[in-house]
Each structure stands twice: as structure tokens, then as C-alpha cells.
Structure 1
Amino acid sequence: MAAFAYNAINSLGVESNGQITAVDRTSAREQLLQRGLRPVALDQVGDETSGGRRKKVKQRSLQVFSRQFATMIDAGLNIVSALLILEQQTDDKALSEVVREVRAGVEGGMLLSQAMAQHPKVFDRLYIAMVEAGEAAGILDKVLDRVALQIEKEMKIKRRVKGAMIYPTLVLCFAFLVLVGMLLFLVPIFEGIFEDLDGELPILTKVIVAASDVMKGYWFIVFPAIGGSIYGFRKWKKTPAGRQVWDRFKLHAPAGIGKVVLKVTMARFSRTLATLVAAGVDIIKALEISG
């Protein structure tokens, strides 16, 4: 998605300025026309999804936003007024900017679900589908409350998983530091002892000594290579093929990790499906989103 600054005129000849997000310039122009605006100037000002231009919206902020939004709709406020209040009250600047753009879209004639769909990094498919179902059934307040509850449960699961992973992560980090320390300092000492005794080193020991020599002589290449490998691995995991391979590995991981991952995944799938069906989403669409 990209952001476009526009200058447009409505049917009454009134000029307006602002920003709109779209896949490309053609989509941005079509959105303006759907709002009853004739674009005079339309210029791309940046990529909306680039990490340096917009901070990531916190899940906690989104959960509070959804809960408060539901309360305001239930109290009788219209969508635009509720969005304006939430835009001004939220402490999350990134979310405030997104809410402002959503409000502008609704004021321009878009449905709330359509305006939110312009920000897939903030409102995922589950969120959009539930809001769309709530709009159709006239129960937007109840649906937003269910969304807030869903986000809250997701955050609890993430906290539990992170808490369970702290100890093994610390152990792995400590083991890595010990291994590096052995290769840099301890192995050279044993190598000198073996040389003094004129003994023949076993094959495995020769491999360890060679690794130590590489670590000592080319540390300025080894450490950046390790960092680059980690960065590349994280990027690869985000690709469809990489995600599939990584998920399969997690499901078959040893030491009971695979079973835990399977239980967490099944719980998330069941809860998501139940939430969508309860909100009135078609079962086929609910299965597609849950999967």
C-alpha cells in the first residue's frame, strides 16, 4: 500500500485536500471518484507499510480501541463521532493516524469495513470480516466487543508462550556464549598442550581446533555472517514457502514442543472460528479466515 496526497473538487465545486491510501495511483483515483471527488492533483508521498514511516500499532492499543469503540456505538454515537473521539484520546500515535484515515474514508462515503480494509497491517482479515458482518446485521457494537475479547485472548496466549520460552532461550544464549568462549580461549590452550606432547589429535578434536582458528582469525567475518544468517532466516520465515516449512518444523519439533505448538494452534483456530460464526460470518468464509 502507498499513500497519495490529493487535491480534489466535489460536485458543488468545493476544493478539498488530504491523503488516501491505495495499491496504486489508479486505485487511489477510483476511491476518490467513489467518494464523489474529482481529483485535480494526485501525488504519491510514500509507502504506508514501510517500517520507517509508520510505527507498528500495539495489540494492546487496538484492543482498547475496539472496546471503547463498541461502548460508544452502544451508547448511540455515530461512527464518525466515535472515531473522532478515539482519534483524539488514544495515546498510540500510530493508531491515531490510522483512525484519522479510517474516519476520513467513512466521511467520504465508505463503509467502516472498507475504510479499515485500507490498513491490513492494523486490521487483519478476522477484524474486517467481523466488522463487515456486524454492519450487515446491525450489531456493530456487539461485534466490536467480541473483537476486543478475541484480541485480549490472543495477547494472553502470546504472553504465556513468551513466558514459557524465556528459560530455553536463556539456556541457548548461554550455551552459545560458552561455545564461543571455548573456541576462542580454551581450545587454543589444549592445542598447545597436545603440540608439546607431540600427540596425534583425534579427528573430532582437529575439527574443533580448525573451528577455533577460523573464529580467531576471521571473527570480523564470522559474526556478521551469523547476524546476516539470522536476519535472512527471519525474512525467509515471512515468505509463504518459508512459513509453511517453518510451521511444519515446529509441529514436528522434539521434546514435546511440537505438541504444545499443535495445541496452541488448534485452540487459536477453534476460538477464531467460533468468534466469526457467532458474529454471523458465513461458515465457508469463516473457515478460510481461521485457516
Structure 2
Amino acid sequence: MAKFKYKAKMKDGKMKEDRIEAPDIEKARQILKSQGMQVLSINRDWANMDINIGGGGIPTKVISLFTRQFATMISAGLPLMQCLRILSDQMDSKAFKKVITEMISDVESGSTLADAMKKHKNAFTELYVNMVRAGEEGGALETILSRLALFMEKNENLTRKIKGAMVYPIVIGITTVVAVLVMLIFVIPIFAEMFSSFGGTLPLPTQIVMAISEFLQKNIFFLLIATAVIITAVRSYQKTPQGRAFFDKILLEAPVFGDLQKKQIVARFTRTLATLLSSGVNIISALETTAKTSGNVIFESAIMKARTAIQEGESISLPLSKEKVFPVMVVQMIRIGEETGGLEAMLIKVADFYDEEVDAAVETLMSALEPLIMIVLAVVIGGIMVAMYLPMFKMITLVG
């Protein structure tokens, strides 16, 4: 749900300025009109926008904290409805407070907790709902919520590390691009005018920089439009099944980052599968849910193929070994887990191992990126400066 800030005229003629939550701006406008208001202006309220790392309407951090507190209250022996009311009263997020309030109403009307959660896909994933359902049916809701809280905390921590590693190079990259553009569009033309008054032949590096500067000055508007069109086209293609498969494959095959992406997906796959199996969810349903939460079409397809093979009577490890995306070590560990009857414990060990691998990979990546970025900055900006000062050195030599 998005937040919108509006100004409207009430039925009694009074003006009202407030905020409203709705899926989109048109829906928000319809809600206000249905309340008898004449909408004068309505805009997205970016200042109060919730930041969501997990991809749904409610921030993952909020869901994780809710789950941990819910599990603690249930383990303390508090009734389900009392837990939900306490959580609703202390919830800061208005959007999630509304979700909990509607859940209370549904449960009071006779719905199960899982069914009440299923109605709110912007807050609770299919994995979450399936685990809660298994906990209710097996009488182990407390245990399931504790596992869910641990799962979400580890998954969020992993995602935060990956995104944190990318912040520094992205900020430096944007800063560099802006600095170079400012130099080429505003600074270089001043030097160009000065050099043209001197006459003579300019050094080749200077000529190249001045040619780039002149091109940008003449075509910057068209370049911006072309960039916007390309980005829009790429994002539209990315939303198609073929586009998702294409870009997901590129991500997996990218140098350095591809390996990091694979480790993150394997860690999420093994931890999700272990959490579902230990919660009583059958292997077929668990694999289907795990595939949908993998975050990569290539892995999703591989997991669904394995699921089909398992339905036909094969073991878990055999169909996974046929899919090239899973590391040999993961398949071997799963095979050992099957043979010893400790599959869930083995999956957790694999997940912990790959969590540590991601940590090590992120640290290595950051160590390598920092000097590399400095070198690129020195070459690009230093190269431009040298190209501009070469004619001055030449003139000084001639005068001397």
C-alpha cells in the first residue's frame, strides 16, 4: 500500500489536508470521492514512505520484529487474541497495524490464523502462511513462530550485507559520473576558448577530450532521452518471463557478483527448505514454496524440475544433482542427510556454511573494490586534467 498526501473540499465546504493509504493514486482518488470529498490535489507522500527490503508492502524488518514478539508472547502462555491485540496496540506502522486489526476480526469470526494472514499478501509471504498453517495443525505454533523469526532475521541480515557491500561502489560511481559530466560540459569549454585564441596544434589527448566535450554539449538532451528510453525498455522487458530469465542468467554468470549471487540463493534455498521441513510441511509443498522464494528464475526452474522428479518417486538429491545450478557439495550434503535421516539438520549446516561464504565474499569484494575504484578515479579524472594542462606545458616550453 502506498501513501498519498491530499487536499480536498468537504461536503460542508471546509478544506481538509491529510494522508491516505491505497494501492495507487487512482484508487486513493476514488476512496476520497466515495467519502463525499472534492479532491483538489493528491500526490505520493514520499516523505513518509515505508522502506521495504523484502519486496512486499510492509517492511521485512517490521514483520520480523512482529514474529519475534508474537513467538515470545505465545511461549509465555498468552492467548492468541490477547497477543494480537497487544501487538496491534504497540505497532508504530499504521499500515501493519491495520493488517493486524483485520486479522483479529477474521480470527474472531472463526478463521484460522493462517487464513487471516493469507488475505494480506503485502505483509505475509506464501512461505510464512504455510508455516503458520503447519504450526496450527500440528499444535506447535510457538515453535514455528520462533523458527520463522530466526529465519527472517538471518535472511534479512544476509540481504543487508549484500546491499551494504554495493552502496559504496554505487555512490562513488554516481559521484564520478557527475564530476566527469560537469567537467566536460562546463569546465572544458572554458579551456577550449582559451586554447583556440592561442592557435597552433593541440596535443592528441586534448583534442579527444575537447571533441567529447563538444559532443556532449550538442547532444546532452538527446542522450538523456535515449538513456530514459533504454532504461524504460529494459525494465519493461525485465518484467516478461523471457526478460526475467535472461537477466537472472546474466546475474548468475557475472564475474565476482555471479558467484556471490549463487551463494546467497543457495543459502536461502537450504534454510527455507530446512525451516519448512522441520515445521511439518511435506517435501512437495516445501519445494514449491522454496522455488517461489528463490528470487531467481533459473533456480526456480531447477527446483520445480526436481520437485516433479521427486513426485515420481526419486530421492531429493538425485534430481538436484542433474541441475547444474547446485554446487556438488550441496547435493552431497543433502544425500548424506537423506541417508542418515537428518536432512533438516544437514540443510541448516549447509545454509550456515554459505552464510559464512557470503560474509567472506563480501569482505573480499569490498577489499578489492576500494583500490580498484581509486585507480579508475585517478585514470579518468586525472586523464582529463592532464589532457587540459598539456597545451599549457607546451606553451611554457616554447616561451622558455
Partner of 2:132: 131
Shift of 1:218: 5.4
Which residue identity is paired with 1:89?
A: Q
Q: Does 1:60 align with 2:61?
A: yes
- Name the residue aligned to 1:14: none
Q: Tell me the residue number matched to 1:272.
A: 272
Q: Number of aligned pairs? A: 242
**TM-score (normalised: structure 2):** 0.52
The correspondence of residues 210-249 of structure 1 with structure 2, limited to 5 A, is 212-213=213-214, 215-217=216-218, 219=220, 222-223=223-224, 226=227, 230=231, 237=238, 240-249=241-250
Aligned to 1:283: 283
Q: Indicate the residue corresponding to 1:160 in structure 2.
A: 161
Query: 1:91 and 1:239, CA in 2 relative to 1: closer, same or farther beyond 3 A?
Result: farther
Of 69-78 and 180-189, the range deviating more from structure 2: 180-189
Distance 1:234 1:123 in 2: 26
Q: Which residue of 1 aligns with 2:262?
A: 262
> 2:10 maps to which residue?
none
2:104 maps to 103
User: Is the contact made by 1:277 and 1:283 (CA closer than 8 Å) also made in structure 2?
Assistant: yes
Cα gap change, 1:236 to 1:77, in 2 (>3 Å): farther
The question of whether the paired residues in 2 share the 8 Å contact of 1:194 and 1:201 is answered with: no
What are the ranges of 5 or more consecutive residues in structure 2 without an aligned counterpart?
A: 2-29, 33-43, 51-56, 292-400
TM-score normalised according to structure 1 size: 0.70
Ranges in structure 1 where 5+ consecutive residues have no aligned partner: 2-43
Residue 152 of structure 1 deviates from its aligned partner by: 0.5
Q: How far apart in 2 are the matches of 1:79 and 1:239?
A: 42
> Does 1:147 pair with 2:143?
no
**Shift of residue 226 of structure 1?**
4.3
Q: Which moved more, 1:181-190 or 1:59-68?
A: 181-190
In the alignment, the residues of structure 2 paired with residue 224 and residue 104 of structure 1 have an alpha-carbon distance, to the nearest angstrom, of 50
Question: Aligned pair 1:197/2:200, yes or no?
Answer: yes
Which residue number corresponds to residue 16 of structure 1? none
Aligned residue for 1:88, secondary structure, equals helix
Separation in 1, partners of 2:49, 2:184: 42
Residue correspondence of structure 1 range 21-100 to structure 2 within 5 A: 45=31, 55=50, 56-100=57-101
Q: Aligned partners of 1:247 and 1:45: how far apart in 2?
A: 39
Instruction: Find the residue that maps to 1:269 and give its secondary structure.
Output: helix
Structure possessing the higher radius of gyration over alpha carbons: 2
Q: CA deviation at 1:127?
A: 0.5
Q: Which moved more, 1:156-165 or 1:179-188?
A: 179-188
> Higher mean Cα deviation, 155-164 or 272-281?
155-164
Q: What letter is aligned with 1:94?
A: A
Letter in 1 for 2:75: D
Q: Deviations over 1:70-124 (max 9, x none)?
A: 2222233332222111111122222111111111121222221111111112101
Q: Could you list the per-position Cα deviations for residues 158-189 of structure 1 after superposition, in whole angstroms to 9, with x for gaps in the alignment?
A: 22112211222133113212331243135536
Compute the displacement of 1:262 (Å): 0.9
Q: Conserved in 2, the CA contact under 8 Å of 1:54 and 1:94?
A: no
Paired residue secondary structure (1:160): helix
The 3-state SS of whatever aligns with 1:130 is helix
Give, in angstroms, the shift of residue 278 of structure 1.
0.8
| Residue 239 to residue 94, structure 1, CA distance change in 2 (3 Å) | farther
Aligned-partner Cα distance in 1 for 2:262–2:116: 35
Distance 1:232 1:72 in 2: 49
Distance 2:180 2:233 in 1: 23
* Separation in structure 1 between the aligned mates of residue 201 and residue 78 of structure 2, nearest angstrom: 87
For the residues of structure 1 that align with 2:108 and 2:242, how far apart are their CA atoms?
A: 40
More helix by percentage: 2
Root mean square deviation of aligned Cα? 3.5
CA shift for structure 1 position 279: 0.8
Alpha-carbon distance, 1:145 to partner: 0.9
